[in-house]
Amino acid sequence: MDDLLYEVDGGVAHVTLNRPEKKNALSREIFDGLPDLAGRIAADRTIRAVILTGAGGDFSAGIDLGLLQSFLPKMDETRAEMRAAKDGPNWFQRPVTCWSGLSVPVIAVIDGVCLGGGMQLALGADFRIASPAARFSIMEAKWGLIPDMGITQSLPKLMRADQAKRLMMTADVFHADQAQAWGLITQLSDDPMAAALELARSLESRSPDAVAAAKALVDQCWSMPPGEGLVLEGALQAGLIGTPNQMEAVMAGMAKRPANFK
């Protein structure tokens, strides 16, 4: 069985963690495969949105303990790989940070457990749609560790520092309603996949250039000084205005017809 499944339906790419017997715990194949799939998606101009989910009723229980144990005999090598982040995301971070590097929006569909590395993977998406029954935890403290899969790039945009410290230090498990109250969940739905597909189709109906620029605007400006944010707004808008897809959005809107973007 492949640990990852990939299919494209229209303009929507579906990436599925496929280890249901292990609650989709993150294996070496998943760590290697997710950045590869992100690269494949980036090269395909027909893809307008990505849905990231887990098979069998769970999103992910986090890093597979067998994989974690495999690092023990080679601690010096493992530490060196972790420190390699100064040159860009390291091997542990790439499965999460690769999604923010895409120009298309990524929607995480969450049911069951979303723990540890699985939680960080979900935070790497642009949107998180969860079942009310989903359970969450930033669980690394349980193993005497800190979350180190790109959480510094995602969590500060969503959550207060004191709340983040509490979750990281305690490894508490919390439910979807609390996750939404803390700003970690975009939407709760009894059918999160249906809600994600509805969102994906809505995004697909907009100019891909404008969607990509909006993603860049938020991702880059939320942590920028105000003046730099204004510069980026102007630069991104200048790159959109008057382009074929922007004009098609105007013409389609005026004609009250579906747009035909390139």
Query: Does some domain include residue 83?
Result: yes
Question: Do 211 and 195 belong together in one domain?
Answer: no
pLDDT of residue 233: 64
Contact by Cβ (8 Å): 78, 31: no
Please give the model's pTM, rounded to 2 decimal places.
0.90
Contact by Cβ (8 Å): 252, 258: yes
What residues make up the domain containing 176? 4-203
Q: List the CATH number of the domain containing 179.
A: 3.90.226.10
- Here the tokens at position 149 are 């899969």
Query: Does some domain include residue 260?
Result: no
pLDDT of residue 45: 93
Distance, in Å, from the CA atom of 38 to the CA atom of 105, rounded to the nearest integer, reads: 12
pLDDT of residue 227: 67
Question: Do 188 and 242 belong together in one domain?
Answer: no
Question: Do 246 and 138 belong together in one domain?
Answer: no
Query: Does some domain include residue 135?
Result: yes
Per-residue tens of pLDDT for the chain, all 262 residues:
699 999 999 999 999 999 999 999 999 999 999 999 999 999 999 999 999 999 999 999 999 989 988 988 888 888 888 787 667 788 988 999 999 999 999 999 999 999 999 999 999 999 999 999 999 999 999 888 889 898 888 898 899 999 999 999 999 999 999 999 999 999 999 999 999 999 999 999 999 999 999 999 998 887 766 667 667 667 777 788 888 999 898 898 889 999 999 8
pLDDT of residue 77: 86
**How would you label 108-127 residue by residue, b for 16+ Cβ within 10 Å and e otherwise?**
bbbbbbbbbbbbbbbbbbbb
Task: Map residue 52 onto helix, strand or coil.
Answer: strand
- With CA atoms as reference, report the closest residue to 156 among 62, 64, 239, 222: 222
- With CA atoms as reference, report the closest residue to 107 among 187, 50, 33: 50
Task: Check the CA dihedral 42-216-114-111 and report its sign.
Answer: negative
Query: Does some domain include residue 262?
Result: no
pLDDT of residue 1: 61
Number of domains in the chain: 2
